[in-house]
Amino acid sequence: MRFDTPAGTNPIDRLKVVGKPLDRIDGPLKTTGTAPYAYEHHPEPANAAYGYVVGSAVAKGRIRSMDLSQAKAAPGVIAIVTAENAGKLGKGSFNTVKLLGGPEVDHYHQAIAVVVAETFEQARAAANLVRVDYARAKGRFDLDEELKTAPLTGGSSDEGSSAPGVDRVGKFEAAFASAPVKFDATYTTPDQSHAMMEPHASIAAWDGGSLSVWTSNQMIDWGRGDLAKTLNIRKDKIRFMSPYVGGGFGGKLFLRSDALMAALAARAAHRPVKVALQRPLIANNTTHRPATRQRIRIGATADGTITAIAHESGSGDQPEGGPETAVNQTKLLYAGANRMTSMRLAVLDLPEGNAMRAPGEAPGMMALEIAMDEMAEKLGMDPIAFRVRNDTQVDPEKPERRFSERNLIGCLEQGRQRFGWSKRNPRPAQVRDGRWLVGMGMAAAFRNHINMPSGARVRLGRDGIVTVETDMTDIGTGSYTIIAQTAAEMMGLPIERVVVKLGDSSFPVSAGSGGQFGAPNSTGGVYAACVKLREAVAQRLGYDPANAVFEDGRVRAGNRSAALAEAAKDGELSAEDRIEFGDLGKKYQQSTFGAHFAEVGVDSYTGVVRVRRMLAVCAAGRILNPKSARSQVIGAMTMGVGGALMEELAVDKRFGFFVNHDLAGYEVPVHADIPHQEVIFLDETDATASPMKAKGIGELGLCGVGAAVANAVYNATGVRVRDYPLTLEKHLDRLPPIA
């Protein structure tokens, strides 16, 4: 199905199943521990051995020699694979750095060996006996130092966030110089780790030249293709399966070393091998969100109309890597005739930087939305009013191009009322509650929607059960449930009559999970397949497909009516299709909008920050399931609190690695850090986005949260911190005197 004109009325608009806050259909499995994750497929393959990955102990250099003799002689050891005996390997299209290092080492904890043994304990013990002689080389680990000479570099996250090296509209410098009110500040965001709860893990089993991999991956087709490319085998020789993914956040978008090492280890051991990256390896072995240095300049007239806006960002990555596209949203979010964005990319020898939830916008909005707060204060304006003043219904760079739907103002106004914004004292450091300094802050939320082709197969069984098969993944997002809702709505069934099978490369290729493109596109693909199945059903029943109505388990056409199952009584019906997109996404700017609000208390004695209340208001097209969508947003708000207050991979600039590389050192929010969270969805449908009229939501929920919290901290203390995370030592010595 080609989607190239805005959707008219269709069966989804009945909203009998879609749009309902249904419990997740995978809930009973997940809450009883019976949903199988990557490391847990024990009935098949049988007799798996255990692989344990050895990570490089240096960040940059060369392996002079490896002494495997002790490890090989250790009890239970079956095989050891290194670059020397792995055979010739390619590199995946989505990988910046090769996954198996040696003799050259590209970054700290890059995999350099996998030790296979009968048991986990034996593999771990033997891995500790691998002796490596390194020739350590000088590396580039200091972002600020390397940015001094870094070139302007454009780039794309491949997820709807992109910008050229320099982008200009009008004459920024002149307009800024002559602006009556000017603001200029620099912000920093640190390297961050996805820190999903399920480690990267894979089981690999060879059968002759065919390879089966049970893994934890957001993008089945990308992972399968890159594994084939790396192993130099044909893609159709690999079956890649990921029915449950224990969190990804972008960290499992790509093939990672667990899958490659499991495949190599299984080939060497001549039996199935299971590999999970040990937690302390993950932060440096895999990818991370790169740190940024961002300068923002805003010029405005006295009434708060922006006349000039510039956003410049610098980040670093491995050679051949890309920039963190932190300026993208500044091209689209606010009006202003004179605009400039630019990005610089330094080459670093730290681990590979890559996508983490809302790449680009997450760190970009952390800076931009503090800057907007600061500028509003400078103008003597309410920060909501300042944003409303500079709203735009068209792409500011291409005014002939409208936003398909844009209700930022609605989000801001709803939030203002629901959060009790009128109680905020615009003068900072005025409100006290006992020992606590109390403040409120807000920020706009923005994230693009993008269209991705997505396929599905739908089968109607003799029992009247509809089964959906697609290689789409559910990484906690609710894919199982919204796909079941879509098929149920299309076929006129209750959700209990739909079975959903996901995450298997033997199913049609879907959009996959990333860039908040999963929900609208994967359900769009299911919609397309269901349209075909409806035609097949009508045909089988001898009805006119154009007039057939699918409702309450029955099919009606004119005076005739039959149970849906009737159509399959002589044999199962099956239909497959994919949704593909025309140029609506070019004709219209398709984006999602929101507003984040936070109230914090700052301990006047210790500087500790506690979040007291949070609210998000979102306008993101049709909400397919308000329960799971709300969870996406509160989860993102939680990650935003982490980004605001605690998350930072600390760089050792001497040896070139992230020091706090486990879940004790890399702090993420825990229960005690998160208050009750409120989410409001504004009623919206976007007919240009897909037949579902839905857009993404999972990343919108993160974009702006950090700034809302930071602005609330400033409102509480009067101390502006522009260096994330806002840990207490950054404002403690400047807090107001204790009353």
Partner 1 sequence: MSSLSDLELSRRGLLAAGAASAVVAVGPEAAAQESDTMTPGLPPMPVSFEVNGKVRQLSLDTRTTLLDALREHLHLTGTKKGCDHGQCGACTVLVDGVRINSCLSLAVMHEGDRITTIEGLGTPDRLHPMQAAFVKHDGYQCGYCTPGQICSAVAVLDEIKRGVPSHVSARLTDRPRVTNAEMRERMSGNICRCGAYSNIAEAMAEVAGGKA
Residue 699 is a catalytic residue: yes
Q: Which of 1, 13, 57, 118 binds partner 1 (CB under 8 A)?
A: 118
User: Shortest Cβ distance from residue 362 to partner 1 (Å)?
Assistant: 14
Tell how far CA 660 is from the center of its chain.
22
With 0-12 / 13-18 / 19 or more C-beta atoms within 10 angstroms meaning exposed / middle / buried, residue 151 is exposed
Any idea what DSSP says for residue 100?
A: B
Q: Is the Cβ of residue 533 or residue 636 nearer to partner 1 in the bound state?
A: 636
Of 198, 369, 489, 699, which is the active-site residue? 699
Footprint on residues 329-348 left by partner 1 (CB under 8 A): none
Distance CA 351, CA 345 (A): 15
Q: Is the Cβ of residue 160 or residue 272 nearer to partner 1 in the bound state?
A: 272
Q: Which of 8, 9, 46, 208 binds partner 1 (CB under 8 A)?
A: 46
Q: Is the Cβ of residue 130 or residue 283 nearer to partner 1 in the bound state?
A: 283
User: Shortest Cβ distance from residue 468 to partner 1 (Å)?
Assistant: 20
Footprint on residues 577-596 left by partner 1 (CB under 8 A): none
User: Shortest Cβ distance from residue 359 to partner 1 (Å)?
Assistant: 17
Q: Is the Cβ of residue 350 or residue 633 nearer to partner 1 in the bound state?
A: 633
CB 385 within 8 Å of CB 305:
no
User: Shortest Cβ distance from residue 187 to partner 1 (Å)?
Assistant: 24
Q: Which of 172, 222, 244, 724 binds partner 1 (CB under 8 A)?
A: 244
User: Shortest Cβ distance from residue 471 to partner 1 (Å)?
Assistant: 18
User: Shortest Cβ distance from residue 196 to partner 1 (Å)?
Assistant: 5
Residue keyed to tokens 């304990």: 121
Q: Is the Cβ of residue 9 or residue 34 nearer to partner 1 in the bound state?
A: 34
User: Shortest Cβ distance from residue 273 to partner 1 (Å)?
Assistant: 12
Q: What is the DSSP string of 237-270?
A: GEEEE-S--S--TTTTSS--HHHHHHHHHHHHHT
Q: Which of 677, 690, 715, 717 binds partner 1 (CB under 8 A)?
A: 677
With 0-12 / 13-18 / 19 or more C-beta atoms within 10 angstroms meaning exposed / middle / buried, residue 205 is buried
Tokens encoding 539: 């045909």
CB 337 within 8 Å of CB 309:
no
User: Shortest Cβ distance from residue 37 to partner 1 (Å)?
Assistant: 6
Torsion of CA 256, 453, 213, 88, to 10 degrees: -60
Q: Is the Cβ of residue 249 or residue 527 nearer to partner 1 in the bound state?
A: 249
Return the range that interacts with partner 1 (CB under 8 A); candidates 59-67, 174-182, 501-509, 673-681: 673-681
Footprint on residues 7-26 left by partner 1 (CB under 8 A): 23-24, 26
Any idea what DSSP says for residue 467?
A: E
Footprint on residues 524-553 left by partner 1 (CB under 8 A): none
From residue 165, how far is each of 159, 191, 326 by CA, in Å?
Answer: 18, 21, 12
Distance CA 129, CA 728 (A): 42
Q: Which of 48, 345, 429, 579 binds partner 1 (CB under 8 A)?
A: 48
Footprint on residues 60-79 left by partner 1 (CB under 8 A): 75-76
With 0-12 / 13-18 / 19 or more C-beta atoms within 10 angstroms meaning exposed / middle / buried, residue 275 is buried
Sequence-distant (≥ 6) Cβ neighbours of residue 615 within 8 angstroms:
415, 418, 419, 596, 597, 598, 677, 678, 679, 680
Residue ranges of E strands in 337-453: 338-347, 394-395, 398-402, 432-433, 436-448
User: Shortest Cβ distance from residue 518 to partner 1 (Å)?
Assistant: 13
Closest CA to 65 of 132, 140, 17: 132
Return the range that interacts with partner 1 (CB under 8 A); candidates 190-198, 398-406, 428-436, 648-656: 190-198
From residue 606, how far is each of 143, 232, 710, 737 by CA, in Å?
Answer: 31, 57, 17, 12
Give the N- to C-terminal CA distance of the chain in Å, as an integer: 67
Any idea what DSSP says for residue 718?
A: S
User: Shortest Cβ distance from residue 527 to partner 1 (Å)?
Assistant: 24
Q: Which of 156, 188, 278, 574 binds partner 1 (CB under 8 A)?
A: 278
Distance CA 523, CA 515 (A): 15
CB 419 within 8 Å of CB 453:
no
Residue 706 backbone dihedrals phi, psi, to 5 degrees: -55, -40
Question: Could you say whether residue 88 binds partner 1 (CB under 8 A)?
Answer: no
User: Shortest Cβ distance from residue 137 to partner 1 (Å)?
Assistant: 31
Footprint on residues 465-524 left by partner 1 (CB under 8 A): 475-478
Footprint on residues 408-437 left by partner 1 (CB under 8 A): none
Return the range that interacts with partner 1 (CB under 8 A); candidates 30-38, 398-406, 497-505, 544-552: 30-38
Q: Is the Cβ of residue 307 or residue 677 nearer to partner 1 in the bound state?
A: 677
Return the range that interacts with partner 1 (CB under 8 A); candidates 27-35, 65-73, 139-147, 435-443: 27-35
Q: Is the Cβ of residue 360 or residue 669 nearer to partner 1 in the bound state?
A: 669
**Element of type H or E holding 328:** none
- Paired with 458 in beta bridges are 468, 575
Q: Is the Cβ of residue 121 or residue 144 nearer to partner 1 in the bound state?
A: 121
User: Shortest Cβ distance from residue 445 to partner 1 (Å)?
Assistant: 16
Footprint on residues 644-663 left by partner 1 (CB under 8 A): 662-663
Question: Could you say whether residue 103 binds partner 1 (CB under 8 A)?
Answer: no
Binding mask 120-159 for partner 1 (x = CB under 8 A): xxx--x----------------------------------
Return the range that interacts with partner 1 (CB under 8 A); candidates 39-47, 342-350, 386-394, 409-417: 39-47
User: Shortest Cβ distance from residue 433 to partner 1 (Å)?
Assistant: 15
Return the range that interacts with partner 1 (CB under 8 A); candidates 104-112, 113-121, 141-149, 288-296: 113-121
Q: Which of 19, 246, 492, 518 binds partner 1 (CB under 8 A)?
A: 246
Sequence-distant (≥ 6) Cβ neighbours of residue 525 within 8 angstroms:
453, 454, 455, 456, 470, 472, 508, 510, 511, 577, 578, 579
Interface size with partner 1, residues (CB under 8 A) = 73
Distance CA 390, CA 370 (A): 16
> With left for phi above 0 and alpha for psi between -120 and 50, is residue 367 left, alpha or beta?
alpha
Tokens encoding 476: 């906690």
Q: Is the Cβ of residue 187 or residue 244 nearer to partner 1 in the bound state?
A: 244
Footprint on residues 191-220 left by partner 1 (CB under 8 A): 194-199
Query: How do beta strands 560-563 and 554-557 pair?
Result: antiparallel
Q: Is the Cβ of residue 2 or residue 42 nearer to partner 1 in the bound state?
A: 42
Give the torsion sign (CA, 519, 95, 345, 136). Answer: positive
Closest CA to 341 of 148, 591, 160, 163: 163
Footprint on residues 342-401 left by partner 1 (CB under 8 A): none
Return the range that interacts with partner 1 (CB under 8 A); candidates 188-196, 490-498, 552-560, 682-690: 188-196
Residue keyed to tokens 């559910």: 474
Q: Which of 8, 9, 47, 88 binds partner 1 (CB under 8 A)?
A: 47
CB 649 within 8 Å of CB 658:
yes
Binding mask 607-646 for partner 1 (x = CB under 8 A): --------------------xx-xxx-xxxxxx-------
Question: Could you say whether residue 42 binds partner 1 (CB under 8 A)?
Answer: yes
Cis upstream peptide for 243 (omega within 30°): no
Distance CA 98, CA 319 (A): 12
Residues annotated as catalytic (active site), given as ranges: 699
